[in-house]
């Protein structure tokens, strides 16, 4: 199998074409790198070759490095193996960059141009960055950039060092630190690439450039005499400000919990002080240290490998293709409107139903508003808007649901209302149609009782706001059949979100774990723990929102409603009285959260969050002795993590990969940890047991160690280890 092939034309231009067999997207493997290396060697050595074009045989250039390979490099070779492997890549890319030129005179090299037909990500941009010119085809769908930081690493094949030297630290920052991706025009405007041409002119233009290139065109600024880094180095008055500012900004955003962000900054700062080749070596050292950090392996595992596996249907039952053609959405409120948008946007015909026509129209107008925003940001064309809106029929007429192969119900959270609409729908749709409820709290198996076809009844639980939240929780009721699960999974794939499949139990998976997190925060307020300590402890351990902010966002009255319903269902076993006292008191004060402009936080007239509400202290005076930061963090993390373990023990979760991916995408659980199970593996089951035993003695039985975890501690198992349950 060959990933790269070279052809040489009559004018002496060698074209090296990247085209990995059997894949729709090029991905770099170690074998692929070796092939590229030998073909570059051959072309540089061949006196008939005047210059080289590196391009792709596919519609895109490349999706990046195969992260499985990186994981393997680490597992097999350790730090030394990674470092040597990375330095070898540097040598190959540096050879492309120097292209046979005399290192003293900088003359005599062969021009090498990267011609990108489409998307070029990660190593797919790092190889071009080593070339002498990057030309991309005009292609608004193409994405160009270095997204490594998003999975807990950073560009380690020279991308970091080259981009900073090419653009300056300030301009490179969004690409490196935020993984910003641009289309070719944006990438050209940002200075990431050099030229954008019409797609059919790509190779001709690349060839023209190669044939016209002079010695001077091949010398990278950093290899030329008198090179100065754009924007200045750390000891330059202008550069100083950038570096100090970047450091503060990164720590402000990441709270210091992401090793990759810190290592990236260090590589950039230290690299800026030394010559280019030494900077590459520094980059390699920091890259190695990041890859050896358990956080980066946990992030790669959950945010890349397992997320992708779930999206590709790792847990899809064996059933024929269930691609959705026409979806009926019941209830055009906040959720229904969002579900209509993501469905129509994915090319699915939508019937959006509400009880009154104006409510249905308002639901459709929600899509229009999102599309208009897209137009203003030039992400959407007016034609695309018309097309998407054209797919949505907003109506009150159930007869319009005829021909739907999927129904997603998002009416009021009320058993009776839901049962009524179920019966009305089943009277019009065909026998094959699958019925899904978006309920957040009602058991699917009970809702299914209103259905004539419980095997075709399922939960498809979206998170709000639907167009932004990437997780969809699919809930299998007692009688839900495989075809319904396959349908839900195929639908989620169509709307390009990430699915997890869980079994039916109170609050399913995500909400089941979020509620104890919120409750633990509120419980601490009742105990007199400084609310700012609670909130900051959460953020300093990587939670996007503190528990008090989270309950403000989701609303205090919703919390009250859920608490009352849970108490009713659990009776005397209900454990959260201390939490309710605070919650109900807040509701009595009319502090319903963000939507009321008053909650645990205060808000200005425009709804902007100001600070924690000081009226809380009068009701719940601060205790004289405040807990350590880590004690608060352990309480907040364990409240969620133990619930995830219990969900696994109870069989609600059947796959830890879903537990981890679902936690990060569903409620932002400390992404650096790779998820609750990832975190338990990082600290180890024995340490987790020790922590929980101590928490139980201080705070009560809710921290009691689940049997599964205690057994794992005793037998030395890890969740993702060989002896664990279903793992990656
Ligand atoms: P909402 O009140 O904004 O919307 C409900 C809509 O359903 C309203 O437009 C209402 O007019 C319509 N409706 C009510 N009865 C109807 C009927 N008989 N026929 C047709 N339309 C009817 O509520 P929402 O926040 O969109 O929630 C809808 C569902 O989604 C609920 O089950 C809720 O638990 C669930 N959910 C909500 C969230 C969230 O964050 N809001 C998240 C996940 C799931």
Domain chopping of the chain, boundaries: 4-292, 326-506, 511-591+620-724
- CATH number for 511-591+620-724 (one of 1.20.200.10, 1.10.1060.10, 1.10.1040.50, 3.30.379.10): it is 1.10.1040.50
Minimum CA distance residue for ligand 1 atom 12: 331
319 — alpha (psi -120 to 50), left (phi > 0) or beta? beta
CA of 409 to the centre of ligand 1 (A): 8
Residues with a known catalytic role: 461
Q: Is the distance from CB of 500 to CB of 489 less than 8 angstroms?
A: no
Which percentage of the chain shows pLDDT scores above 90? 91
Q: Which of 394, 410, 415, 437 to mutate to test the pocket of ligand 1 (most atoms within 8 A of CB)?
A: 410
Q: Which CATH superfamily is domain 326-506 in?
A: NAD(P)-binding Rossmann-like Domain (3.40.50.720)
The set of protein residues with a Cβ atom below 6 angstroms from ligand 1 is: 330-336, 353-355, 359, 410-413, 417, 420-421, 438-440, 461-462, 464
Q: Which atom of ligand 1 is nearest to the CA of 464?
A: 40
pLDDT value at residue 1: 65
Within 8 A by CB and 6+ apart from 386, the residues are none
The angle subtended at Cα 249 by Cα 245 and Cα 252, nearest 5°, is: 140
CA of 411 to the centre of ligand 1 (A): 4
pLDDT (average), residues 607-632: 96
C-alpha Rg value of the chain to the nearest Å = 28
172 — alpha (psi -120 to 50), left (phi > 0) or beta? alpha
Within 8 A by CB and 6+ apart from 265, the residues are 177, 246, 247, 250
Minimum CA distance residue for ligand 1 atom 39: 464
Q: Which atom of ligand 1 is nearest to the CA of 331?
A: 7
pTM for the model stands at: 0.90
CA of 334 to the centre of ligand 1 (A): 7
**How far is Cα 643 from Cα 664, in angstroms, rounded to an integer?**
15
pLDDT above 70: residue 728: no
Count of Cβ atoms closer than 10 Å to residue 625 Cβ: 7
Q: Is the distance from CB of 659 to CB of 676 less than 8 angstroms?
A: yes
Instruction: pLDDT band for 723, please (50, 70, 90 cuts).
Output: very low
Q: Which CATH superfamily is domain 4-292 in?
A: 2-enoyl-CoA Hydratase; Chain A, domain 1 (3.90.226.10)
List the one residue out of 289, 154, 157, 138 whose CA is nearest residue 202: 138
Instruction: pLDDT band for 725, please (50, 70, 90 cuts).
Output: very low
pLDDT above 90: residue 632: yes
Burial of 19 (C-beta count, 10 Å sphere; 0-12/13-18/19+): middle
Q: Is the distance from CB of 16 to CB of 26 less than 8 angstroms?
A: no
Minimum CA distance residue for ligand 1 atom 30: 410
Question: 540-564 pLDDT, tens per residue?
Answer: 999 999 999 999 999 999 999 999 9
CA of 438 to the centre of ligand 1 (A): 9
**How far is Cα 684 from Cα 672, in angstroms, rounded to an integer?**
16
What distance lies between CA 429 and its chain's CA centroid? 36
pLDDT above 70: residue 724: no
Element (H, E) at 97: helix 67-98
CA of 488 to the centre of ligand 1 (A): 19
Count of Cβ atoms closer than 10 Å to residue 709 Cβ: 23
Domains 326-506 and 511-591+620-724 share a fold: no
Q: Hunting for tokens 């269902």 — which residue is that? A: 569
User: Mean of the per-residue pLDDT values for the chain?
Assistant: 95
Question: 658-715 pLDDT, tens per residue?
Answer: 999 999 999 999 999 999 999 999 999 999 999 999 999 999 999 999 999 999 999 9
Minimum CA distance residue for ligand 1 atom 14: 411
**How far is Cα 448 from Cα 457, in angstroms, rounded to an integer?**
6
pLDDT value at residue 722: 52
pLDDT above 60: residue 507: yes
CA distances from residue 655 to 169, 314, 336, 531, 662 in whole angstroms, order as listed: 42, 10, 29, 35, 11
pLDDT (average), residues 473-488: 98
């Amino acid at each position: 199998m060959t990933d790269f092939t070279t052809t040489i034309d009559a004018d002496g231009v060698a074209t090296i074409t990247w085209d990995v067999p059997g894949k729709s997207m090029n991905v770099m493997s170690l074998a692929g790198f070796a092939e590229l290396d030998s073909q570059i060697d051959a072309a540089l050595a061949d006196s008939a070759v005047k210059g080289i074009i590196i391009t792709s045989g596919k519609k895109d250039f490349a999706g990046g490095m195969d992260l499985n390979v990186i994981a393997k490099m680490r597992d097999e070779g350790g730090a030394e193996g990674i470092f040597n492997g990375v330095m070898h890549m540097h040598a190959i890319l540096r050879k492309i960059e120097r292209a046979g030129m005399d290192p003293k005179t900088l003359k005599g090299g062969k021009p090498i141009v990267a011609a990108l037909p489409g998307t070029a990500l990660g190593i797919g941009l790092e190889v071009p960055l080593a070339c002498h010119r990057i030309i991309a085809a005009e292609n608004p769908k193409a994405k160009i950039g270095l997204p490594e930081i998003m999975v807990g690493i950073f560009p380690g094949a020279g991308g970091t060092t080259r981009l900073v030297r090419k653009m300056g630290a300030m301009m490179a920052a969004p690409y490196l630190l935020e993984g910003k991706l641009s289309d070719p025009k944006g990438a050209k405007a940002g200075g990431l690439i050099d030229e954008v041409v019409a797609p059919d002119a790509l190779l001709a233009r690349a060839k023209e450039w190669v044939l016209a290139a002079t010695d001077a065109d091949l010398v990278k600024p950093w290899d030329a005499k008198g090179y100065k880094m754009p924007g200045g180095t750390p000891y330059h008055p202008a550069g100083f400000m950038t570096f100090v500012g970047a450091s503060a900004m990164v720590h402000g955003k990441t709270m210091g919990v992401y090793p990759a962000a810190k290592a990236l900054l260090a590589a950039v700062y230290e690299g800026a002080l030394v010559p280019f080749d030494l900077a590459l070596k520094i980059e390699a050292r920091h890259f190695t240290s990041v890859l050896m950090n358990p956080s980066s392996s946990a992030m790669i595992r959950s945010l890349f490998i397992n997320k992708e596996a779930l999206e590709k249907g790792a847990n899809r039952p064996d059933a024929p293709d269930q691609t959705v053609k026409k979806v009926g959405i019941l209830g055009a409120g906040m959720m229904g409107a969002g579900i209509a948008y993501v469905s129509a946007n994915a090319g699915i015909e939508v019937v959006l139903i509400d009880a009154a026509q104006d409510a249905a129209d308002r639901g459709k107008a929600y899509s229009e508003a999102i599309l208009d925003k897209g137009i203003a940001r030039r992400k959407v064309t007016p034609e695309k808007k018309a097309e998407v809106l054209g797919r949505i029929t907003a109506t009150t007429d159930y007869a319009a649901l005829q021909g739907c192969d999927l129904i997603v119900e998002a009416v009021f959270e009320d058993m009776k209302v839901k049962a009524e609409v179920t019966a009305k729908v089943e009277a019009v749709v065909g026998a094959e149609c699958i019925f899904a409820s978006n309920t957040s709290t009602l058991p699917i198996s009970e809702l299914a009782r209103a259905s004539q076809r419980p095997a075709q009844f399922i939960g498809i639980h979206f998170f709000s706001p639907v167009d932004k939240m990437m997780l969809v929780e699919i809930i299998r009721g007692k009688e839900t059949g495989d075809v319904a699960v396959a349908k839900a999974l195929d639908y989620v794939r169509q709307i390009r979100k990430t699915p997890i499949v869980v079994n039916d139990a109170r609050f399913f998976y995500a909400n089941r774990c979020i509620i104890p997190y919120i409750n633990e925060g509120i419980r601490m307020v009742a105990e007199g723990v400084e609310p700012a300590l609670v909130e900051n402890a959460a953020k300093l351990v990587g939670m996007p929102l503190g528990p008090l902010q989270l309950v403000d966002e989701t609303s205090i009255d919703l919390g009250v409603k859920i608490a009352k319903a849970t108490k009713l269902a659990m009776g005397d076993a209900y454990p959260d009285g201390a939490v309710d006292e605070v919650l109900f008191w807040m509701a009595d004060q009319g502090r319903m959260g963000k939507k009321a402009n008053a909650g645990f936080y205060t808000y200005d007239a425009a709804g902007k969050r100001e600070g924690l509400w000081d009226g809380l202290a009068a009701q719940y005076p601060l205790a004289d002795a405040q807990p350590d930061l880590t004690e608060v963090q352990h309480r907040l993390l364990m409240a969620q993590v133990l619930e995830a373990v219990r969900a696994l023990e109870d069989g609600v979760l059947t796959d830890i990969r879903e537990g981890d991916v679902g936690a990060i995408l569903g409620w932002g659980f400390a992404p650096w940890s790779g998820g609750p199970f990832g975190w338990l593996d990082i600290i180890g089951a024995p340490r987790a047991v020790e922590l929980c035993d101590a928490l139980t003695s201080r705070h009560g039985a809710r921290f009691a160690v689940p049997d599964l975890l205690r057994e794992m501690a005793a037998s030395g198992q890890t969740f993702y280890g060989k002896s664990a349950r279903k793992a990656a």
